[in-house]
Amino acid sequence: MCPMELLQGTLDLLILRTLELRPLHGVGIADRIEQVTGGVFTVGAGSLFPALHRLSDKGWIAGEWSELESGRRAKFYALTKPGRLQLAREKKSWAKAQTAVNQVLAEES
Amino acid sequence: MSRFDRILRPRRAEAELDEEVRSYYEVQVERAMARGLTREQAERAVRLSSGGSEQVKQLSREARMGAFLESIWRDVRFAARLLAKSPGFTFFAVLTIALALGANAAIFSLVDGVLLKSASYPEPERIVQLWEKNPRGGRNGIAPANYLDWVRQSKSFEAMAAFSFGSMSYSGGGEVRSLRSGHVSAPYFDVFGVKPALGRTFTRDEDQLGKGKVVILTHRVWTASFGSDPGIVGREIRLDGMPHTVIGVLPGSSEFDRRSNDIWVPLVFPAQVPRDYHTYGAMARLARGVSREQAQTEMSSIAEEIARQYPAAKKGWSAIVDNYMDRVNGPQIRLQLKVLMWAVAAVLLIGCVNLANLLMARGTLRSREMALRLALGAGPARIARMLLIESLLIASLGASAGLLLGYGLLRWIQQLMPPFFLPAEAHVAIDYRVLAFLAAAAVATSLAFGLMPALQASRGVAADALREGGRGSSAGKGKLLARHAFVSVQVAAAFMLLVGAGLLIRSFANVLNVDTGFSSEGLVAGYLPIVQDGDPDADRLRQYIDRAVGEIRSLPGVTGAAVASAIPLRGWGDGMPMWLPEKPDETRFTGFKIATPDYLRVLGLKVVEGRLLDETDKAGSPLVTVVNESFVRLYYPNQSVVGKRILVERILPTRRGLGPKSAWEIVGVVADEKGRGLESPNDIGAYASFAQNPVVGLGLVVRGQGEPGALIKSVQQALWRVNKDQVFDNPMAVEQWKEQSMVGRRMTVSLLAGFAVLALLLACAGIYGVLSFVTARRAQEMGIRAAMGATPGDLIRLVLTAGAIPVVLGLAVGLSGSIGLGTTIESLLFQTKAADPMTLGSVAAIFLLVAMAACLVPALRAARADPMTALRQD
């Protein structure tokens, strides 16, 4: 199966979910999503960074500079309080949408 | 890094983005190298899989911008929803801003059009106006002989042109009518730098004797009377019975289309011109690199040389060079506009203070909501931004409605003004400049009333509100003080406005009550331009006027008719130098009105001493004059003047110069006629009989029964029976002229009074709002007081006193301010003192009354305080 590009809304949701556990930097987030989805979704820099900036502008995540093990500086993003609320909302609506879509697909077959 | 930081420090934001993306790429490259690739191979692999770093950065920037706009839009929608939820507040707030900004827009477009916008002339600062300076130091008209010397001798000017305004009869296409004509030296249009829309302007020799039968049309007349005929240039039209060739049409919608002149013809001087009869104006364009001061120096020395050469006529005379644009607007109109601008600014200030107060009150009511938002993680900056966007939304709605209101107000003002009321250089319109002003004013306004409440809401309030259940106490004290200070500011500003309006209203009433010396009922007057080909013969002129006046007198309903060298309220005819035989070296001045004997009777001027002019004062009989009371008061205080003689030069019938000095015997004294308009400070004047000194340049006065319009029509027809080419020019009921002469004053007074009332209402709304708010917060205290035995009367007194303190403070400030204001506008006042105790007193009384009424409602509410409320709250 070829890796799939993510839709914007879904990517946002996955990033929020990924950061729910602990703060991560860009490479870490991309790795984590690829790893958790078993390589189904890859996140390129061209969609990752715009998404991070969009989310931090909405106030859902906040970035802070910190050092990697290699000693290199990187920006670590963490979920904010409004971000947590937003994630909860999105989880709910995702579940709803998923149920609805599944129903439609089940009907067809 | 917050969004505000990013906006304020874009360079730092860019550096951070760069480092972030670079660090990502480096990590990827290092990983690839760990898999055994060389650095080069690794870099290429990463570029292939992740795309170029510049592209990534650009996408991030765009995402950020999109998110920013989106979040602004979210705030706007949120603010709109909130405003829609409290329609009462929104309506009041938007209405306040709309009224204030509407007034500001209208007045700004006036100020901008009259005072700020520059004229369309090229290099207008090089245009100067020239005057003779009379021995009293005043600006004086110019005698043509002096003007011609100036042209020949001066080197400071690129072009110089004399002018005089008159009228010419035009009979093309129907009844004969008069066109307002400008008679100007050939270089006139070069002085202004005006290029014609069609054809050409005058060539330099077209103002020489024997030439000059050419005419330039204004765009206005070309459109209205010549059907915008593109082939007009070269056509002949008859003016004053003589053929004139049209050589050009001036540009439309320019200064020359806003001047009253319909046509322009060359001013041709006769071979012999007077040096002592000052009837022309002159304009000039400074040569490149010559300053006004240098031109003034040169002109003074030329004029002094003329004075040395012709001491009899010119002793003590000099010349004045004025920057033309500086004198387009008189000090009166400048001051009036300034006063109006300050007035609308004050209204806006009062409105802003009201809204700031309201928003702060709302902020307190909403402090729980705000606290919740803060607790949920919205930063203080975010909350401040949200509230500011709400203010900006109110201001924008208000500005949009204000634009319509301002447009309406401006239209009303423009309808009030008679044609050519403003100088031609004024160009008043709602244009992009007004829109830009309005936009800037809206933003400034939203900050003025929104910033403080927004900061207050985003700061400290959160903790406060949760703790106290939205009632704040200790922190509230500072805010209460601020609110009371707001009330004082509003009261002071509104009071000063009311006093200003009051002073002008009194002045207006005084002008209305001015005694003109005559009754204007049934009186109509206009000019009687007489076409002169060659020198009009004195006898023929007398006969012509006799026939014309006789024809009018025989009209049914006409009780009297006369001609005079100036008509009531529209001037004194000639201002003439005068000598007393006993002091032949001292020059005095007097208004000198030449009139048929009936003039004094038609006006009904009261005889104080001696007799009026009559039919026995004929051409051959001894020269006589009737003077007025002002004349006697100045030159012969407490003396009987009948039988005394004055020396005044006769005016030539052609009005092209002065005759010999003659002795006129004073035969009577009459009450003053207001010659120079209702507000003229002096009316020193003498009347001479037309039969003894016939001249052209006459006006016609008729008193009769019936509607003035019909009377004017029948007078015109009577004149046509005598001479089918005779025009009755610019005829008007004297009463209507009187009304028109008060338009400027009426306009300023109505506007200022309107603004003052608006300010008063807004200030009262402010007083009411603050007091209601304070009283509501003290409801518990009132309950306790009531429980402790305070009567409703006690409670009312308590609230009224609390309300009165800031009002009285504001009044005190306003009172001292309005005395300063009175002095500033003193020159606009008429027979009214700057610190008029009656005005100050009555305005203060009105103010206190209205302010107390505004306090009364909350006071009564407080009086109904139920002791139970003390227990029930919280």
Rounded Cα distance between B712 and B561, Å, is: 12
Question: Would you tell me which residues 46-65 of chain B have a C-beta closer than 8 angstroms to some C-beta of chain A?
Answer: 49-51, 53, 55-57, 59-64
The per-residue pLDDT of chain A, averaged, comes to 83
Q: Which residue of A has its CA nearest to B68?
A: A57
Q: Minimal CA–CA distance to B191: which of B254, B245, B130?
A: B130
Q: B803 to chain A, minimum CA–CA distance in Å?
A: 44
Interface residue B705 vs chain A (CB under 8 A): no
pLDDT of residue B545: 93
- pLDDT at position B82 over 80: yes
Q: Which of B629-633, B717-721, B792-796 is predicted with the least confidence, judged by mean pLDDT?
A: B792-796
| pLDDT confidence band for B786 (50 / 70 / 90) | confident
Average pLDDT in the B322-345 region? 90
CB contact under 8 A, B20 and A58: no
pLDDT of residue B477: 64
Interface residue A32 vs chain B (CB under 8 A): no
Rounded Cα distance between B281 and B283, Å, is: 7
CB contact under 8 A, A58 and B23: no
CB contact under 8 A, A51 and B63: yes
The SS3 assignment for B590 reads strand
- pLDDT at position A93 over 90: no
CB contact under 8 A, A27 and B24: yes
Q: Is residue A95 part of a domain?
A: yes
**Residue A62, beta-bridge partner list:** A78
What range defines the domain where residue A98 resides? 8-108
Interface residue B24 vs chain A (CB under 8 A): yes
Tokens 């004094």 belong to which residue?
Answer: B600
Dihedral, B414, B418, B424, B430 alpha carbons, nearest 10:
10
Q: Residues of chain B with pLDDT > 70: what percent? A: 94
Rounded Cα distance between A7 and B349, Å, is: 52
Q: Is residue A2 part of a domain?
A: no
| E strand or H helix at B568 | none
DSSP state of B517: S
Six-digit token string for B179 = 């066109």
Interface residue B559 vs chain A (CB under 8 A): no
Cα B343 to the center of its chain, rounded Å: 13
AA letter at B101: L
CB contact under 8 A, B20 and A68: no
pLDDT of residue B376: 66
CB contact under 8 A, A75 and B53: no
| pLDDT confidence band for A89 (50 / 70 / 90) | confident
Q: Minimal CA–CA distance to B169: which of B232, B223, B215?
A: B215
Q: Which residue of A has its CA nearest to B3?
A: A57
According to DSSP, the β-strands at B574-580 and B157-170 are: unpaired
When CB atoms are compared, the residue of B20, B30, B376 closest to A82 is B376
Distances (CA, A) of A101 to A96, A98, A106, B531: 9, 5, 9, 98
The per-residue pLDDT of chain B, averaged, comes to 87
- pLDDT at position B598 over 80: yes
CB contact under 8 A, B23 and A50: no
Total domain count, chain A: 1
- Using alpha carbons only, give the angle B771, B776, B780 rounded to the nearest 5 degrees: 130
DSSP state of B411: H
Average pLDDT in the B102-116 region? 93
Rounded Cα distance between B151 and B142, Å, is: 12
Q: B55 to chain A, minimum CA–CA distance in Å?
A: 7
When CB atoms are compared, the residue of A27, A44, A47 closest to B27 is A27
Q: Is B862 in contact with B799 (CB distance < 8 Å)?
A: yes
**What number is the ipTM of this complex?**
0.84
Q: Is B326 in contact with B739 (CB distance < 8 Å)?
A: no
Q: Is A73 in contact with B23 (CB distance < 8 Å)?
A: yes
Q: Is residue A20 part of a domain?
A: yes
When CB atoms are compared, the residue of B24, B51, B63 closest to A53 is B63
pLDDT of residue B531: 78
* Per-residue model confidence as pLDDT tens digits over B429-487: 889 999 999 999 999 999 888 888 888 777 655 455 455 444 444 445 666 777 788 88
Interface residue A82 vs chain B (CB under 8 A): yes
Strands (E), B134-266: 139-140, 157-170, 177-184, 198-199, 214-217, 236-239, 242-249, 263-266
When CB atoms are compared, the residue of A59, A74, A85 closest to B23 is A74
- Work out the burial of residue B100: count CB atoms within 10 Å of its CB; fewer than 13 is exposed, 13-18 middle, 19 or more buried: buried
Average pLDDT in the A84-90 region? 89
CB contact under 8 A, A46 and B16: no
Question: Which chain A residues are closer than 8 Å to B60 by Cβ?
Answer: 49-50, 52-53
Q: Which of B106-110, B593-597, B784-788 is predicted with the least confidence, judged by mean pLDDT?
A: B784-788
| pLDDT confidence band for A3 (50 / 70 / 90) | low
Q: Which residue of B has its CA nearest to A76?
A: B20
Q: Which residue of A has its CA nearest to B2?
A: A57
Q: What is the DSSP string of A24-77?
A: EEHHHHHHHHHHHTTTSB---HHHHHHHHHHHHHTTSEEEEEEE-TTS-EEEEE
Q: Which residue of B has its CA nearest to A73?
A: B23
pLDDT of residue B462: 45
The residue among B216 and B25 whose pLDDT is bigger is B216
State the CATH number of the domain containing residue A57: 1.10.10.10
Q: Is A77 in contact with A99 (CB distance < 8 Å)?
A: no
Q: Which of A97-101, B12-16, B37-41, B438-442 has maximum average pLDDT? A: B438-442
The SS3 assignment for B420 reads coil
| E strand or H helix at B574 | strand B574-580
Q: B460 to chain A, minimum CA–CA distance in Å?
A: 20
Question: Which chain B residues are closer than 8 Å to A80 by Cβ?
Answer: 377
When CB atoms are compared, the residue of A44, A53, A58 closest to B60 is A53
Six-digit token string for B495 = 């009071």
Q: B43 to chain A, minimum CA–CA distance in Å?
A: 14
* Per-residue model confidence as pLDDT tens digits over B352-375: 988 888 888 777 777 777 777 776
According to DSSP, the β-strands at B177-184 and B281-286 are: unpaired
When CB atoms are compared, the residue of B28, B64, B376 closest to A57 is B64
pLDDT of residue B507: 92
pLDDT of residue B185: 96
Question: Which chain B residues are closer than 8 Å to A81 by Cβ?
Answer: 376-377
* Per-residue model confidence as pLDDT tens digits over B709-733: 999 999 999 999 999 888 898 899 9
Rounded Cα distance between B641 and B636, Å, is: 7
Question: Which chain B residues are closer than 8 Å to A47 by Cβ?
Answer: 59
Question: Which chain A residues are closer than 8 Å to B27 by Cβ?
Answer: 27, 68, 70, 72, 74
Interface residue A73 vs chain B (CB under 8 A): yes
* Per-residue model confidence as pLDDT tens digits over B500-511: 999 999 999 999
Around B414, how many Cα atoms within 13 Å sit in the side-chain half-sphere?
16
Q: What is the DSSP string of B606-666?
A: PEEEE----TTS-SSSPPEEEEEHHHHHHHSTTS--TT-EEEEEEEPTTSSSEEEEEEEEE
Q: B25 to chain A, minimum CA–CA distance in Å?
A: 9
pLDDT of residue B378: 65
Cβ neighbors of B626 (< 8 A, separation 6 or more) are: B600, B610, B611, B612, B613, B666, B667, B668, B669, B670, B686, B687
* Per-residue model confidence as pLDDT tens digits over B504-538: 999 999 998 888 889 889 999 999 988 766 566 88
Q: Which residue of B has its CA nearest to A43?
A: B50
| pLDDT confidence band for B377 (50 / 70 / 90) | low
Average pLDDT in the B594-601 region? 93
Interface residue B78 vs chain A (CB under 8 A): no
CB contact under 8 A, A59 and B66: no
CB contact under 8 A, B23 and A82: no
Q: Minimal CA–CA distance to B651: which of B581, B593, B584, B569?
A: B593
Q: Is B783 in contact with B868 (CB distance < 8 Å)?
A: yes
pLDDT of residue B475: 46
**Residue B558, beta-bridge partner list:** B704
CB contact under 8 A, A45 and B24: yes
CB contact under 8 A, A46 and B55: yes
* Per-residue model confidence as pLDDT tens digits over B823-843: 888 888 888 888 888 888 988
Q: Residues of chain A with pLDDT > 90: what percent? A: 3
DSSP state of A4: B
When CB atoms are compared, the residue of B16, B51, B379 closest to A46 is B51
Q: Is residue A16 part of a domain?
A: yes
Q: Which residue of B has its CA nearest to A83?
A: B377
**Residue B595, beta-bridge partner list:** B564, B689
- pLDDT at position B4 over 70: no
Q: Is B142 in contact with B320 (CB distance < 8 Å)?
A: no
Interface residue B30 vs chain A (CB under 8 A): yes
Interface residue A44 vs chain B (CB under 8 A): yes
Mutate one of A54, A65, A86 to test the B interface: name it (highest B CB count within 10 A). A54
Question: Which chain B residues are closer than 8 Å to A44 by Cβ?
Answer: 49-51
Interface residue A50 vs chain B (CB under 8 A): yes
The neighbour count for residue B108, using CB atoms within 10 Å, is 25
Average pLDDT in the B124-148 region? 94
CB contact under 8 A, A45 and B27: no
- pLDDT at position B874 over 50: no
Rounded Cα distance between B236 and B223, Å, is: 17
The neighbour count for residue B216, using CB atoms within 10 Å, is 29
Residue contacts between A and B (CB atoms, under 8 Å): 86
Q: Which residue of A has its CA nearest to B56?
A: A46
pLDDT of residue B382: 74
Q: Minimal CA–CA distance to B815: which of B459, B591, B500?
A: B500
Interface residue B451 vs chain A (CB under 8 A): no
